[in-house]
Amino acid sequence: MTACPIRYQRQVPDRKGKIFYTSITSLSHISKTSRLESIIPEMLDKGKIIFLTGNPGDGKTFIIKALDGVIKHHNAFVETDANNQSAYDDLINNIISCYDEGRPAIIAINEYPFLQLRKQMKETSTIIFDEIIVAKKNAITYDTSFDLKNRIVVIDLNERNLLDPDNHIISTLFDRFIELLSSQSNPSKALSYNLKALSIPEIKDQVLSLFQLVATECEHFAVRDILGAFSFFLTACETDDYENERYYSTIFTGDNILLKAIQQFDPIYLSLPELDEKLWNGEISLGWIIETPTQWPCSNEFDDSPEEALACFKEIKRRYYFENVKGLELVRLQPSEINECARLFTSYDTQKKKTKERFVRAINKLFLPSLDDKHKLHIWTTHRYDISISAPVAVSSKAVYSSELELLMPRPADWLKGLEYLPDHFILRPKNATSPSLRLDIDFIRTLIAVENGYPINLLASHFEQAASRFLRELDSKGFSEENDDGEIIIADRSQSSCFKMNIQDDKYGFSED
């Protein structure tokens, strides 16, 4: 597929990153890189009816246009935009005809219109409706061996994570942006600086590392969000509001949804007192990749304007993050829970047992921080009169062995294998049972990691403990728990992280304190 030529318009991006040139070239590059370019032809070849759904701006219509030759080859029915239809009678009739004739089809439709279409389809063809539900439910699954025997396929672009570094889409698209901008004539001084800086591998890696940090949040960003972010932080310097501002400032401003996600990783939040003092006083003259700053916050010109001095400090620290060889000192200050959480997902297939036992131990620590038991998930009971504070005492007389639990991670079904997908949760549940189950999402996992690292449990958000307590109660009520050996009862003093144990041996009570 040949990319369409760029049409440069000398317009400027707004705060949301309005793209100042046609994005068809960049989108074609995403299409070339994405696994969808091979998944969809495979489905059409099998005579499937494909619903391509997602958010506005996810590139549904473009994907269809990019595969025009393949679609024509299979004589497939096509609907490039079903979103503006007030009624779906004609579309439903076409879908039913394709289903009855064995003809493939592909329909682009946003999420809410797709919901409306399904409701209307239920009244017209329950067979097709049921197949739609099955296909949607099993696209992302804990059982990747699910065999898609039906005619209907649902590909939800909301499930794609284009920021996934393993797929190199962001890096490739970034290079394409730099290439396209560099081909334009008469760029401003600030834009020339941006292009020069971001062509340097070390600086580019630092920029892309921010997108990788956002990727660990497992939030979905539409194609237009990504293109808008690139457009804004690279070219906002050509606007009146951001005149002469460079990429290391504009990447942390703007209202683009992706840039707002990046803002939480702004290096101004990373405190290294000795470094901050030197940056304020202009004492770092070595290690700058491009050029040494000429203006520092300690300058006399800021004596009467603390606000301007602070603004200068922010700019210098951000610049240090990207453009000094020791900028990694700040990168390492990003919360450790972020990378630890990401590693749990990437190592899941080779360390299932270890990961499961780590979660068991961490859940125990939610109730008794000093407990290091990873082989049994204790059934804890707490009581408090004031729900605004943590219960000071937890009691356990039962447990479930870790070996009786399983940890599951979602992933695309085999027929969607290779889709740019990053899992955003685990499920902990008894083996060979679908319930009860505890959903461990990104925030929950990071909380458990923080507890493991010694974070005080009384400072945690209460809903994590409540979710764990509910799961433990259900395990007990459904008969998955066992009495502790020798009738042991653990009474935990959570505020002191200590416990009192009572057991029965030879018909006598025994007591111990940890």
Pick from 77-86, 106-115, 496-505: least confident: 496-505
Nearest to 449 by CA among 436, 460, 438, 437: 460
What pLDDT, on a 0 to 100 scale, did the predictor assign at position 31? 52
Kindly indicate the confidence band of residue 507, based on its pLDDT and cuts at 50, 70 and 90. Answer: low
Which percentage of the chain shows pLDDT scores above 70? Answer: 89
What average pLDDT does the segment 467-484 reach?
94
- Give Cβ neighbours of residue 473 (< 8 Å, ≥ 6 apart): 379
Q: What is the mean pLDDT of the chain?
A: 86
Beta-strand pair 49-54/425-430: unpaired
What pLDDT, on a 0 to 100 scale, did the predictor assign at position 164? 80
What pLDDT, on a 0 to 100 scale, did the predictor assign at position 247? 96
- Helix (H, G, I), strand (E, B), or coil: what is residue 490? strand
- For residue 450, pLDDT beyond 70: yes
Nearest to 364 by CA among 461, 465, 440, 435: 465
The 8-class DSSP code of residue 298 comes to T
Kindly indicate the confidence band of residue 504, based on its pLDDT and cuts at 50, 70 and 90. Answer: confident
Instruction: State how far the Cα of 175 lies from the Cα of 171, in Å rounded to an integer.
Output: 6
Which sequence spans correspond to the domains of the chain?
35-159, 349-513
What average pLDDT does the segment 378-398 reach?
74
Q: What is the pLDDT of residues 285-329, one digit of tens each?
A: 999 999 999 999 999 998 889 999 999 999 999 999 999 999 988
Q: What is the pLDDT of residues 341-377, one digit of tens each?
A: 989 999 999 999 999 999 999 999 999 888 889 999 9
Most confident of the following: 15-19, 27-31, 90-94, 145-149: 90-94
User: Which token pair is 169?
Assistant: 């889409």
What letter represents residue 126's amino acid?
Answer: T
Instruction: State how far the Cα of 336 lies from the Cα of 30, in Å rounded to an integer.
Output: 31
Instruction: State how far the Cα of 177 lies from the Cα of 253, in Å rounded to an integer.
Output: 19
What pLDDT, on a 0 to 100 scale, did the predictor assign at position 415? 85
- Domain 35-159 of CATH type 3.40.50: yes
Instruction: State how far the Cα of 270 lies from the Cα of 276, in Å rounded to an integer.
Output: 10
- Give Cβ neighbours of residue 221 (< 8 Å, ≥ 6 apart): 162, 163, 214, 257, 258, 261
